[in-house]
Structure 1
């Protein structure tokens, strides 16, 4: 349901969340219970961002006014710089049964020590 703006002659403007089929109908003022007519006071806002972008904006807004303290970092499951949850890169070396290392995809002409 969208949010519509209404204008009361006595109290001023207010916003109400209403179904689309009631967009043109008048509304009662929540303050004085008088009749209010619909007014276009602000431009419509469309949610055209991806879900990842919206989540990033929400995280950024949260971090802007309440950054995590060092105590919160210490109490978290993983400390800062923890590498256990990051992307794992495959190792360039492949151990053999004898314990020697080999480079199967890199330089096959090189012999490991």
Structure 2
């Protein structure tokens, strides 16, 4: 429930939690029971979250409304060190007959 600030002419500012439909209606002062009017005396208190949580929420929002384009997936095509797209030695070795061999990989792995 939201918290609103009210100003009593004799006691000063106090906070009250009320439904949003009653925010503009007057409220009785908890100290002197006189009628007080609503005022905006300070900036709203915002619930903050950690940077990691904020990043996760931003990623979820982006994924829901504007997914990454195919060009942005280039960096994620293959795992690091796959050898087919990066520089360095190739993991696939071809025999004279054209068959593939994978000397550094497990024999049951399928190439991409």
Smaller-chain TM-score bracket = 0.3 to 0.5
Instruction: Give the TM-score normalised by structure 2.
Output: 0.43
Instruction: Give the TM-score normalised by structure 1.
Output: 0.42
